[in-house]
Amino acid sequence: MSKLGVGIAQPYVRDAFVPPTAPPVLERGFLAWARKNLFSSISNTILTLVGIYLTYALVWPIIQFGIIDAVWSGTNADCRENGHGACWPMVQAKLGQYIYGRYPGDERWRVDIVFYSGLALLIPFLIPFVPFKRLNAILLLGVYPLVAFVLLTGGNLRIGGMFGDLMGLGGVMGFVGDWSIMIAVIAGLLLAFGRVAGLAMLVPTIVVAAILAIIGLAVVVAGIDFGLEQVETALWGGLLVTLVIAITGIVASLPLGILLALGRRSDMPIIKTFCVGFIEFWRGVPLITVLFMSSVMFPLFLPEGVTVNKLLRALVGVALFSSAYMAEVVRGGLQAIPKGQYEGAQAVGLSYWQMMGLIVLPQALKHVIPGIVNSFIALFKDTTLVLIIGLFDLLGIIQLSFTDASWASTVQSHTGYLFAAIIFWAFCFSMSQYSYYIERTLHTGHKR
């Protein structure tokens, strides 16, 4: 070719970079992504279109009902006139009822204090890197329940004593007298046993006495008259009851579950049989029958004259039920601890409880925190079942509010259910997200 050229041509030298051309439209950005992920083949395209249609058909009516067509302010007249959108003024008007149930209006500040102080203690406890965990745990699990109990019920528990009353002390002081006598007798017996058996029993005696004294102190605090008005549990309702049942259930079921799990893995045949039977029994029956049992059968078990409040009975049922599930969660954690850990602990001379408390359980419980959170979510959802035995949790109170004729309209129940669904979803979803977060944070031991 060049031979055909005329003269000596200056060879072409490119002295600047050609700016890179953008890839073809179909290979970049959203279009490329869509082509690759949504429309790569005919069947894929059909799937995508069906999926988009499904989403539209299912989600759009809810958006339309809940947001676009909804009545945001006004009275029931507006809702009735609208007739096909959510009636949010009803929820605003009933919000107090949804949160507190029939708790007296002037006393609701007490519930608020319980809610907010609980949050203030719980949030730092849940964030792994916040310090003072031990103090936080003592406040949250030791002091807070007592404060919450006194604030919610009004305290002033009717307690008395037998010997204390004979000594002329009444009410709380009578109990203090009784309790002191009991502590003194137990401490004396322990010391005497130590002397006979030739063992140093001073430290164990002090520990036992201190624990008993703390329990006594808690009862005394619950029995002091703080001048708060008594609020019967029959008046409690809404979110308050949901949270009380769920939180008491989980807090009570954790130690019980740990004991049952240890028992299930123990070598002692009678204890093992008992724990296996207990766990399998509660896991084999539905919660409803447990609640029925607590509401109709449990009163029959008690001696004549003793009555237990309905909420407390439900709490006992829920705690026993969830402790069986908790036991299985904890057992999973215990099984994940290699045998070397047990043997190592025994080799350095730790007793059974020292081995479990200092070596095995801390590792095992760390493994199963997500499982514990999951049982908490399950328990939180299951609290709705108490409406069947006539307690009004959040769903129960919303269901009850549909009987209110002043807010009657065609959208009354739809609005209520949508609201309930949003609240329950928000609680459960955030808990499950927390469980994922903690799983990632704590998964340090065997991460590669």
In angstroms, what is the minimal distance from the CB of 109 to other proteins?
29
**247 near other proteins (CB under 8 A):** no
Q: Based on CB atoms, which residue is closest to other proteins, 13 or 300?
A: 300
Residue for token pair 């439209």: 25
Least distance from C-beta 286 to other proteins, angstroms? 4
Quote the least distance from Cβ 311 to other proteins, whole Å. Answer: 18
**What are 236's strand-pairing partners?**
101
Q: Is 26 exposed, middle or buried (0-12, 13-18, 19+ CB in 10 A)?
A: exposed
Distance of CA 363 to the CA centre of its chain: 21
Binding window for other proteins (CB under 8 A); candidates: 43-51, 75-83, 133-141, 331-339: 43-51
Distance CA 414, CA 376 (A): 28
Q: How many residues does the chain have?
A: 448
Asked if residue 175 lies in contact with residue 160, where contact means CB atoms within 8 angstroms, the answer is: yes
Contact 93, 75 (CB under 8 A): no
Closest Cα to residue 326, out of 274, 360, 297, 364? Answer: 364
The tally of CA atoms less than 13 A away on the side-chain side of residue 120 is 8
How many beta carbons lie within 10 A of that of residue 139, not counting itself? 17
Show the tokens assigned to 419: 């609201």
Q: Site size for other proteins, by CB under 8 A?
A: 56
Q: Per CB under 8 A, does 424 bind other proteins?
A: yes
Which is nearer to other proteins, 153 or 294 (by Cβ)? 294
The interface with other proteins within residues 372-411 (CB under 8 A) comprises 377, 381-382, 384-385, 387-388, 395, 399
- Judged by CB under 8 A, which of 44, 117, 136, 341 binds other proteins? 44
Per CB under 8 A, does 104 bind other proteins?
A: no
Q: Where are the alpha helices (DSSP H) in 265-309?
A: 269-284, 287-292, 298-301
Binding residues among 257-296 for other proteins as defined by CB under 8 A: 267-271, 274, 281, 283-289, 292-293, 296
Exactly one of 26, 27, 29, 37 binds other proteins (CB under 8 A); that residue is 37
Q: Which stretch binds other proteins (CB under 8 A): 33-41, 149-157, 162-170, 176-184?
A: 33-41
User: CB neighbours of 380 closer than 8 A, spacing ≥ 6?
Assistant: 242, 246, 424, 427, 428, 431
Q: Which is nearer to other proteins, 207 or 426 (CB)?
A: 426
Least CB distance to other proteins at residue 207 (A): 17
Q: What are phi and psi of 64, to 5 degrees?
A: -60, -45
Q: Does 61 bind other proteins (CB under 8 A)?
A: no
List interacting residues with other proteins (CB under 8 A): 37-38, 40, 44, 47-48, 51-52, 54-55, 197-199, 267-271, 274, 281, 283-289, 292-293, 296-297, 299-304, 377, 381-382, 384-385, 387-388, 395, 399, 413-414, 417, 420-421, 424-425, 428-429, 432
